[in-house]
Amino acid sequence: MGKVTGFLDFDRVELESREVLDRLDDWNEIGTPGEVKTLQEQAARCMDCGIPFCHTGINMGKGPGVSGCPLNNMIPDWNDLIYQNRWQEALQQLHKTNNFPEFTGRVCPAPCEGSCVLGINSKPVTIKSIECEIVDRGFEEGWINPEIPDKRTGKKVAIIGSGPAGLACAAQLNRAGHTVKVFERADRIGGLLVYGIPNMKLDKKKILQRRLDQMTAEGIIFETGVEIGKDIPAANLLNLFDAVVVCIGATKPNNFLQNIPGHDLNGIHFAMEFLTGNTKSFLDSEHTDNNYISARDRHTIVLGGGDTGTDCVGTALRHGCKSIHQFDVIPKPPLERLQDNPWPQWPAVYKLDYGQKEAKAVFGADPRRYKTSTVEFLNDSFGNIKAIRTIDLDWAAPDKGVPFSPIKGSEQEWPADLVLLAMGFTGPEETVLEQLKLERDPKTNIKAKDSTYSTNVKGVFAAGDARRGQSLVVWAIQEGRSAAREVDRYLMGNTNLP
Amino acid sequence: MRKFQGLYHPSYDHDACGVGVLANLNGYKSHDIIRNAIQVLENLGHRGACGCDPATGDGAGLMFQIPHAFFRKECQLINISLPEVEEYGIGMVFLPRDSKNRVWCEQKVEQTVLAESQVFMGWRDVPTDANQIGELAKRTSPFIRQFFVKRGKNIENREQFERKLYVIRKVIESAIYQELSGDDFYIVSLSSKTIIYKGLLRADQLGSFYDDLNDEMIVTALALVHSRYSTNTLGSWQLAHPYRMLCHNGEINTIRGNKNWMHSRECSLSSALFGDDITKLSPIIHEGASDSAGFDSVLELLVSAGRSLPHALMMMIPEAWENCEVMPDNKKAFYEYQSCLLEPWDGPALIAACDGNRICTTLDRNGLRPFRYVVTNDDFVVGASEAGVLDIDPEKIIDRGRLEPGRLFLVDTERGCLVADEKIKYEISSSKPYRKWVSNNMINLEDLPISSATPGYDKKLLREHQQAFGYTNEELEILLSPMATEGDEPIGSMGNDTPLAVLSNKPQLLFHYFKQLFAQVTNPPLDAIREKLVTSLASSIGPRNDLLTETPEHCRQVRISRPVLTNTELSQIQSLNYDDLKSKTLPMLFRKTSLSDALEVAVNELCIKASRSIREEGVTVLILSDRGMDRDWIQIPSLLATSAVHHHLIREGLRDQASIVVETGEPREVMHCCLLIGYGATALNPYLALETVRSIASDGLIDCDGTIAQENLIKALCKGILKTMSKMGISTIRSYHGAQIFEALGIQQKVIEKYFTWTNSRIEGIGLQEIEIEYRKHHSQGYPDRPLPHSPLLEDGGYYKWRADGEYHQFNPQSVALLQNSTRLGDYQIFRQFTDSIDSQSQHLGTLRGLFQFKKVQHSVPIEEVEPVQEIVKRFSTGAMSFGSISKEAHETLAIAMNRIGGRSNSGEGGEDQERFDPDSNGDWRNSNIKQVASGRFGVTSHYLVNATDLQIKMAQGAKPGEGGQLPGHKVLEDIARVRNSTPGVGLISPPPHHDIYSIEDLAQLIQDLKNANDKARIHVKLVSEVGVGTVAAGVAKGKADVVLISGYDGGTGASPESSMKHTGVPWELGLAETQQILVQNNLRGRIVVQADGQMKTGRDVAMACLLGAEEFGFATAPLVVTGCIMLRKCHLNTCSVGVATQDEKLRKNFSGKPEAVINFMMFIAQQLREHMAMLGFRTVDEMVGRSDCIEPKLAINHWKAKGLDFAKMLTTIRVPEHFARYCCEVQDHQLEVKLDRRLIKDSKESIEKGSPVQLNYSIQNTDRTIGAMLSAEVSRKYGERGLPKNTIQVKLKGAAGQSFGAFLAGGISLSLEGETNDYTGKGLSGGIISVFPPFKVNFTAADNVITGNVALYGATRGQAFFCGRAGERFGVRNSGAEAIVEGVGDHGCEYMTGGRVVVLGSVGRNFAAGMSGGIAYVLDEGGVFSTLCNRESVDLEPLVNPEDLSELLRLIETHVHYTGSVRGKEILGSWSETRTKFVKVMPVDYKKVLLSKILERGTKVETN
């Protein structure tokens, strides 16, 4: 390790973001690259633990949160390299476990930091910023070039879906010498990376594109605008390819509110509809085509407290919404870990994410309201949403199998012109699954073994949210890589892929 | 051979003992010598031991000259008419009791005598009286007869006759041992000069058993006696000493290698003196012979073949000549010449040998055994392991002395005098032109031409090779980089929790299937740093010629200064091409495409090539090389190739004709190098490791250039090799070479027998096929069939730190989190998840116990009927972790927790703050009930010892057995310094050995000392599991310890060299099973509690330990994790972020551990144990102990490597009589009631109660040991650390005091002795005053007289000691506060001293002040040579000018004169103004710095005031 006493000598420094009010004027990324010296000092805080919990990637608590990095990023190793100013080697180490550190370095909620040993009694190492800087610098310095395999195996693999799982899978399989074709029904490659995540969090033209360029140069064939199951019958792939990997994500949105009055009013949209349209319009025309749902001058309410909800908040603010609120049914998380949520579990604590921070800067308060459930969407009598009515929940009084009960008399009305539903996703869409006759698990995800990623149909594999259900980008990459390893083993009888 | 039950094998036995020699210098024979010899034997009785049945001793014996008149008389009675003196020889024989076998043996004897053309004269029954000997001795006693052989006509002279008798004995033995074992037939002696009477007897039984010895007609001028202490008690008559030529006290550590080399030499022996008879001598050493017997056999061979007795002893136990600058050149040349013939027999040894006319005694180069002698004015000499073994009128004494390290003591009755060491060695070393021979024939490596340039590496090739040889990132970072930068072995912490190689899922290097053995109890490890002068890494390459002759060509060899070679040096060896020195390189590779068994075929071919090269091409240096490894060729494991060739050549009788040098990419850590050397390589060139560090350096990753990095790496490896050797107590690489000091863990017996012959391997395991698979896997890393495009990175490794795709660790993110959370929340369900994660090792075979399952052999019982958790936890203790290695907070939390539940916490070795001895006001008690006594003896005072229920002698610790420790100055904070009696800021050293334990009888002495120091405490002995630990445990039980702790090799620690943590010792499962089996078998189990520890974490672990034989259990790492440790593994850096293992004030604030969590842990473990007990049907722990029948190997082990393991021996239930105990149910009889101290206490009762002064007088002898300790305990209990006012209890004594005189003597007590003392005087002196002076009427100069033995004032903390006379080795070792004056000392004076004052008014030996870090010594340097004798690495020598110093010295000398009446002292005072200028002040550098800064500090304070 670099500096034995680094964690005593330096405090954690959050890397600079752009001024909140400045950044709301554009769609550029909110972060700025860190100063080298600061980053080296921050890397020096790493204690190079005998057990680096940051590098673990397993579920340890009761909740869904993961402890440490699902990709098992070699965090202490590259922290040390950065401290020693050995960026290129750090990049190699980083790429050894992660095909796309520039994505995770931007959008990952960083469970690594949540389980950082230093976090027990101090502030964790700024792992995510360091990761991001390593790869960004790698691109700038020209260290990241196409890695073209010496020999081709002659085996062909089709990958359905070009989200993080599909891309990671494609990259790995291609390097193992297979001929890989990626099918994407949208007009752009990237799935969630391109349309699910707004540009201020992940820049499409620069950050995403340079990686796609590298992959294309390595020989991966991308087919956009082709929907398997519609344009090409899924079963046909089985004849055309030696293996098929289904990475279609979990795109069916949850809608807990479909039975409450007014749910079909105009102005109520799923978050993805809102976000996708916005990004597409931005990329196509810098929003000049107006082909998106705008929150401008509208009272906007986001239902759901996750990352997607935050993205809706950030996007709506940039549109110039009149007001913004975000409702969640759960209680406000504690400021510090509760006794039953000890380290190294994912810390279920209250945090101000970028969207909320921006909302607070504009409107003076965190837009989130907790223990709040929607009971009615109110009609402006033209079929448009006018307001929503909510009720507060009592989490101390569970009721009929649910952990809370409504508090009588706590109803409130909130003016609303735009309501965005960001309540998560239920699973993959059916078409491909049905055409390939793939079995599903009880949660409607594709049933594929943890160890082999193989489905009930020979030669068909599944990875990413389509298999494990809605999750983090980092898990998707992990699944894509692991599935690639298993596909390689399936095709060749052995594998050198990690 | 006998069949042995379970894990026991007799080759694990050790012994040690008391030795005595007696002689009349003029050769005048008398019966007095016999009588005195028996008296000496009885007075040495306490150095021997008794087994389970107190009447059976471990062995005693006596050798003397054949008393002609006696035998003539006796033979007349049985109608044998003996010829004249010297015309006949007598054989003393142990025969089978069974008459058919006996007659058969007798016929063999008679036939052989006749066949060798000598006259067989008849048999005599030796009269014996078995009434007084023990049951076991009786049961195994042989039929004892003597036979008489008359010199045949073909024999010309006496020497030739003696030689013939030797041949006859060898022939008889070979013939009979083909049919019978050594237990049934044994020739005690067969000689025309000497005869031996010995047996499985107690020292005091010899005279009554052999009636002959009481006959006044038995007269002799010489006698050797011996009293034996053996670790086992399975009776063996023939193992008593003397052997045919010698008695031995100590142990030969290198015996395996010495035997191998002798074996390989047998074919090449030739001697004109023997002629054709030479072929009849094989085997020179019988397989299975003990180290002493083996030594005896070779000594006998050398002497029979014409070398004199001292010459032969100088060859076998050379003194430390390599680094000795003052040695005469001819002597040095002699030793160098001999080193080309014979490797040293290394180890602690006092050898007393007799050739009929001379007695020659020699001591090993380290001087690790005591020998004291007295010469009288009537030409009588008596020497023995102790002073005072014979009551001699002081007025008759003209010389009293001691044998010094590496010296000879020769009593020559032909010359009629004692011959001085210098004289005899001068005679021998100038008998031939050794210097000329050496200069003309030996070649220096650096003088050889450099052949071709070594092949270069580019980055890609380097990476490929690194991968193909299995290098990991971690190895580069954790091992190689530090070695290349610092030239030192890297340090780590927190022990080892990864699986054994055979259980690992990762491909392993073959090296990792071996574990280093280490010295433990029966021999001491060495301090290769502070006692460097006795060590040597130099050796030579080339053939060895016949052992029995001496010619100039014998030393035609290439000198090398160290065993690790640079590429250039290797190329020089490759260039060797003379007629008599020729090298040849043999590739050790196999073809990748070859089919099954490729490895086996290749190894066998390599062996054949090797022997053919020697036979047909005259090659004398075989270079085994894997340089040719590439895509198509895979390396043969270098260890396999080396050892296979080594053993093949031994079997072919060719081994001596060529050296083996290994050129290999494989080795990169110390252990690897050690294995290659230990299995036969003289030198090795680790070219890939060298290339790797060069590239690390040239990439700028470390701060030095490539050449320096390589040099540093070699330096680090060599240091590590030396360290590894010293862990076993071996000083020179010549004797380590081929000594195989390893045990194999997880290798098939078949492989061992063929390629690693005579290596211990007890649980079977993998074969060559599995090894081949592993090496193919490594190779394919570098040369994959389908390479990926991006630049390949090395594997992470994950052996040292947890990594997701690295090696499995029992402590991993999940287990740590679950353990912490469950114990903090007190949640048994979560704790279950934790233990399940540890116990269910279906995917990861973490431990041996993980491969076992419980077997129900009886009905379960309801859990309510099982003893409650509150009772079970009393059997639990926490491990020894010193305050110093862990923080005060962590240390006290553990103590509070254990005291609340009635378990025990352990102080560790750093002493303990007195304020913890009494309970706090809130009811908590921070006292550690187990107080540890380790080699550093930090803060071990009488008061410390009385504040314990248990005293633990740490013989070794799991993480680094065989090593000492060092607490760097920056960690010695105020608090720590205070409890360790040292100076803040000054580093502290724990020596590798306890300097009062060099053998098993020494340990018995320390046990006795501690029992005296606190008679209410149980005495523990902590051992680390290794092969043979069971026999050591048996020795410990016989030494009267109350508890023996078997510790696993995997224990955690503050800091330890990485190679020690990973590669030394074995899991506790093996050691515990062996211990239980041997204790039960020897019927010793009932007397001693067995405790086990080592990475125990779950109730299942404890249950397994219990079933394997433990009744108490220790936990260390797990409770630390409970208090917050997260396995940062930074203990050695003082940066533990959770405040557990750090002294940093700021970090300690982060400590969040709570006693409640520790208690939860203990209770949960106990609860789990109860659940297992209920299931298995045990209501109490006692019932469960040692029930290995309730364990079976898991049925479905389908791990590809582990499936070859066989646990049958480990799980054997030992068949013994019903009444033999299986758990501790008796108490040891310490015989404290008969101690002199009981009288002292009685007689000073009033003083102790009221503090009133008293004066007492007694006379004593050498069997009165540890005088004063028990009395001190009484004082300390009542008066605490300070004791009574000075001189309150004054005890005047007369005589020779036994060992440990005045040990732990408390303040207020003074012992004044007119006479002399033995070893360990003033050990742990705690404030009392000791003075020793000779009687007034003596005929020698007191200042030249040795008055006290070795290791005086070891670990003394306070008080004063005055010796009117000289002391032995290691005077004042680790003194931390006492003041002492002595009139001369042996080697290593003031070693490791950290405080106090030592004044030496006479000459000193070598290596004075080694490792001294505190206190001051004043040495009177009259000869002006002191500076050459002083080890000046840590001290400055200054003239004595400071008035404060001078007045201090003056005061001390005046006090010395006051207490002892020293003539020397008076003389000095008389000429003070002149003499004072001759004193040198020895001042430790660090100590001076700290004192100076204090003075400055004080100065500034004054100024600011």
pLDDT at B2: 44
* Cα B319 to Cα A97: distance, rounded to the nearest angstrom: 59
Of A51, A76, A148, the CB nearest to B789: A148
Tokens of B40: 């000496």
Put simply, the chain B residues between 1142 and 1161 with a CB less than 8 A from any chain A CB are 1146-1147, 1150, 1152
Is B791 an 8 Å CB contact of chain A? Answer: yes
Residue B1076, pLDDT > 90, answer: yes
Q: What residue type is B1063 in one-letter code? A: H
Q: What confidence tens digit (pLDDT) does each residue in B1231-1246 have?
A: 888 889 999 999 999 9
Per the listing, tokens 């390290």 go with: B405
User: Considering chain B, what is the average pLDDT of its residues?
Assistant: 93
Residue B535, pLDDT > 80, answer: yes
Residue B1505, pLDDT > 60, answer: no
Put simply, the chain A residues between 149 and 178 with a CB less than 8 A from any chain B CB are 149-151, 153, 175-177
Contact B997, B1300 (CB under 8 A): no
List C-alpha distances in Å: B576 to B105, B447, B448, B449, B734: 53, 11, 8, 8, 22
Put simply, the chain B residues between 474 and 513 with a CB less than 8 A from any chain A CB are 494
Q: What is the mean pLDDT of each run of 10 residues along chain A (498 residues)?
A: 85 88 93 82 95 92 83 95 93 96 95 95 95 96 95 97 98 97 97 96 96 97 97 96 97 90 95 97 96 97 95 97 96 92 91 94 96 95 95 92 92 97 94 96 94 96 96 96 98 93
* Cα B1146 to Cα B1136: distance, rounded to the nearest angstrom: 11
* Nearest C-alpha in B relative to A150: B789
Q: What confidence tens digit (pLDDT) does each residue in B409-431 have?
A: 999 999 999 999 999 999 999 99
Contact A220, A170 (CB under 8 A): yes
Which of B1272, B1277, B1268, B1275 has the alpha carbon at shortest distance from B947?
Answer: B1277
Query: Cβ contacts (< 8 Å) between A47 and chain B: which residues?
Result: 1128, 1130, 1135, 1137
Domain ranges of chain A: 6-140, 156-252+426-492, 255-423
Q: What confidence tens digit (pLDDT) does each residue in B776-795 have?
A: 999 999 999 888 887 678 99
pLDDT at B843: 57
**Secondary structure letter of residue A204 according to DSSP:** I
Inter-helix orientation angle B828-839/B1099-1108, to 10°: 60
Contact B506, B809 (CB under 8 A): no
pTM score, whole prediction: 0.95
* Nearest C-alpha in B relative to A123: B1137
* Cα A187 to Cα A275: distance, rounded to the nearest angstrom: 15
Which residues of B are identified as catalytic? 17
SS3 of residue A286 by DSSP: coil
Residue B1452, pLDDT > 60, answer: yes
Secondary structure in 3-state letters for B255-289 = HHHHHHHHHHHHHHCCCCCCHHHHHHHCCCCCCCC
| Confidence class for position B132, pLDDT limits 50, 70, 90 | confident
CATH of domain A156-252+426-492: 3.50.50.60
Q: What confidence tens digit (pLDDT) does each residue in B197-252 have?
A: 999 999 899 999 999 999 999 999 999 999 998 876 666 899 999 999 999 998 89
Of the candidate ranges A489-498, B265-274, B436-445, the one whose mean pLDDT is the lowest: B265-274
Of A5, A51, A151, the CB nearest to B816: A51
The number of beta carbons lying within 10 Å of the beta carbon of residue A313 is 28
Q: What confidence tens digit (pLDDT) does each residue in B511-525 have?
A: 999 999 999 988 899
| Confidence class for position B142, pLDDT limits 50, 70, 90 | very high
Is B816 an 8 Å CB contact of chain A? Answer: yes
Residue B1502, pLDDT > 60, answer: no
Tokens of A277: 């349209």
Which of A336, A343, A298 has the alpha carbon at shortest distance from A320?
Answer: A298
Contact B1362, B1381 (CB under 8 A): yes
Do the Cβ atoms of A60 and B1130 come within 8 Å?
A: no
SS3 of residue B713 by DSSP: helix
Enumerate the β-bridge partners of residue B644.
none
User: Is A255-423 in the same CATH topology as A156-252+426-492?
Assistant: yes
Of A51, A92, A122, the CB nearest to B812: A51
List C-alpha distances in Å: B622 to B374, B658, B1251: 52, 7, 76
Is B802 an 8 Å CB contact of chain A? Answer: yes
Contact B1424, B1415 (CB under 8 A): no
Residue B842, pLDDT > 60, answer: no
Is A338 an 8 Å CB contact of chain B? Answer: no
pLDDT at B289: 85
| Confidence class for position B6, pLDDT limits 50, 70, 90 | confident
Superfamily of domain A6-140: Alpha-helical ferredoxin (1.10.1060.10)
Question: How big is chain A by its Cα radius of gyration, in Å?
Answer: 23
pLDDT at A401: 85
* Residue spans of beta strands (DSSP E) within A142-212: 156-160, 179-184
Do the Cβ atoms of B803 and A74 come within 8 Å?
A: yes
Contact B1454, B1382 (CB under 8 A): no
Is A450 an 8 Å CB contact of chain B? Answer: no
% chain B with pLDDT above 70? 98
Query: Which of A7, A51, A152 to mutate to test binding with chain B, by most B CBs within 10 Å of its CB?
Result: A51
* Cα A148 to Cα A219: distance, rounded to the nearest angstrom: 7
Which of B955, B848, B42, B928 has the alpha carbon at shortest distance from B502?
Answer: B848
Residue B1081, pLDDT > 70, answer: yes
Min Cα separation B490/chain A (Å)? 13
Tokens of B768: 């060559």
As to burial, measured by CB atoms within 10 angstroms (0-12 exposed, 13-18 middle, 19+ buried), residue B1216 is middle
* Residue spans of beta strands (DSSP E) within A242-298: 243-246, 252-253, 268-270
Mean local confidence (pLDDT), B1446-1455: 97
Put simply, the chain A residues between 278 and 317 with a CB less than 8 A from any chain B CB are none
Q: What confidence tens digit (pLDDT) does each residue in B901-931 have?
A: 999 999 998 899 999 999 999 999 999 999 9
Residue B1208, pLDDT > 70, answer: yes
pLDDT at B841: 63
Mean local confidence (pLDDT), B22-29: 96
Buried b (16+ CB within 10 A) or exposed e, A57-79: bbbbbeeebbbbbbbbbbbbbbb
Per the listing, tokens 């950030």 go with: A314
Which of B1306, B1347, B1302 has the alpha carbon at shortest distance from B1327?
Answer: B1306
| Confidence class for position B1044, pLDDT limits 50, 70, 90 | very high
Q: What confidence tens digit (pLDDT) does each residue in B546-582 have?
A: 999 999 999 999 999 999 999 999 999 999 999 899 9
Do the Cβ atoms of A4 and B1130 come within 8 Å?
A: yes
Do the Cβ atoms of B1137 and A72 come within 8 Å?
A: no
**Secondary structure letter of residue A454 according to DSSP:** B
Q: Would you put residue B658 in left (φ > 0), alpha (ψ -120 to 50) or beta?
A: beta
CATH topology of domain A255-423: FAD/NAD(P)-binding domain (3.50.50)
- The CA angle B156-B158-B163, to the nearest 5 degrees, is 90
Which of B201, B198, B388, B210 has the alpha carbon at shortest distance from B292?
Answer: B198
Do the Cβ atoms of B809 and A51 come within 8 Å?
A: yes
pLDDT at B602: 97
pLDDT at B1: 35
* Cα B1191 to Cα B1176: distance, rounded to the nearest angstrom: 10
Contact B1282, B1307 (CB under 8 A): yes
* Cα B377 to Cα B391: distance, rounded to the nearest angstrom: 15
CA A164 to chain centre: 9
Say how many Å lie between the first and final Cα of chain A, rounded.
Answer: 25
| Confidence class for position B1339, pLDDT limits 50, 70, 90 | confident
Query: Cβ contacts (< 8 Å) between B788 and chain A: which residues?
Result: 147, 149, 175-176, 496-497
As to burial, measured by CB atoms within 10 angstroms (0-12 exposed, 13-18 middle, 19+ buried), residue B864 is exposed
